[in-house]
Structure 1
Amino acid sequence: MKLSAKSRYALASVTKMAMAYDSKETMTILEIATDLNISKIYLERVFSQLKQGNIVSAIKGAQGGYFLTNTPDKISIYEVLSSVEPALFADNEKTVDEIAPKIEQALQQQIYIRLDEALKESLSSVTLADLAEDAQKDDDNYMYYL
């Protein structure tokens, strides 16, 4: 499965927010864009969709910025991706329903429905807290014993 740039930027941005969740109340788009080297204008569109999907919310003003609407352990990757890429999880259109309804039914039951369920289950089992924890691992700190 290949995710769009929009999905990848959304995931990276909310993971960054999750990593700073305990120490920072809000983050600005400019701060995230600068830290992750993403276009600020493009990120504004991504955050608009994240806001519509109730993943983030915003506070206006000098001390304002975006914040996660829930704790990182309560926000699944499925929720993030479905807010920025709703077409990714939409039902497949019928392909040959009028000409070969039995084939269409087999395709739906054996492939499309199974793929949708597996994808949703897999992405729902990973949270922003999981991503943040993994991103903060320091693999270079090894303990050597002699």
Structure 2
Amino acid sequence: MRLSTKSRYGLRAMVKLALYYNQGAVPLSKIAEEEKISENYLEQIITLLKNANLVKSIRGSQGGYILSRNPEEITVADILSVLEGSITLVDCLNESIKYCDNKDRCVTRNVWKKINDNILNTAQSITLKDLCENYKRGN
């Protein structure tokens, strides 16, 4: 499983918004500059996160973006599911795909499922608050 640049940048942007939580809106240009991400690309990512109600936009001279919820309520899995779609290692684990004739007797499917479940459980257990605490500790 290889995460896209969109997911990596999106998670970094969300951590930045979490670090500024309750301090007002953060301009996209500030996030782009601090994270060294193209502002145009970041705008595409933020639009997806906004459409998923993970961030809100604030208009005006003091405008920018804020988290829609408290950082302890937003998980890495929430963000990845918006930016990656389904978080699965192999296509046969994606329940919406019905192509595999070996699905019920596949020797390796349970291995992929266990690995995939561990990844998903980990992503669901890490919140933006956790990442902010790690950032502040220098980890």
Distance 1:110 1:70 in 2: 35
- SS at 1:130 equivalent: helix
| Kept in 2: contact 1:52–1:83 (CA 8 A) | no
* Secondary structure at 1:54 match in 2: coil
The residue identity in structure 2 corresponding to 1:18 is A
| TM-score of the two chains, using structure 1 as the length reference | 0.80
Q: Deviations over 1:58-77 (max 9, x none)?
A: 11111211100111111000
2:45 aligned partner: 46
| Paired residue type of 2:129 | A
Q: Which runs of 5+ in 1 are unaligned?
A: 98-102, 140-146
CA distance in 2, matches of 1:52, 1:44: 12
Q: Distance in 1 between matches of 2:68 and 2:103?
A: 40
User: Deviating runs (4+, > 4 A) in structure 1?
Assistant: none
Q: CA deviation at 1:10?
A: 0.5
Aligned equivalent of 1:20: 20
Rg bigger for which structure? Answer: 1
State the SS of the aligned residue for 1:136: helix
Q: Could you tell me which amino acid in structure 2 is paired with residue 46 of structure 1?
A: I
TM-fit CA distance, 1:120: 2.1
| 1:1-146 superposed matches below 5 A | 1-22=1-22, 24-89=23-88, 91=94, 93-97=97-101, 103-107=102-106, 110-138=110-138
Q: Bigger shift: 78-87 or 130-139? A: 130-139
Task: Give the percent of matched residue pairs that are identical in Structure 1 and Structure 2.
Answer: 32
- State the Cα RMSD in Å: 2.2
Q: Verify the 8 A CA contact 2:3 2:84 in the aligned structure 1.
A: no
Q: CA deviation at 1:20?
A: 1.8
CA contact (8 A) 2:76 2:126 kept: yes
Aligned residues: 133
* Residues 133 and 105 of structure 1: CA distance in aligned 2, closer, same or farther (over 3 Å): same
SS of the residue 1:21 aligns to:
coil
Unaligned runs of 5+ in 2: none
Return the letter of the residue paired with 1:84: L
Q: Is the 8 A contact 1:19 1:133 kept in 2?
A: no
**Residue aligned with 1:67, SS:** strand
Q: What is the rounded CA distance, in whole Å, between the counterparts of 1:138 and 1:130 in structure 2?
A: 12
The equivalent of 1:142 in structure 2 is none
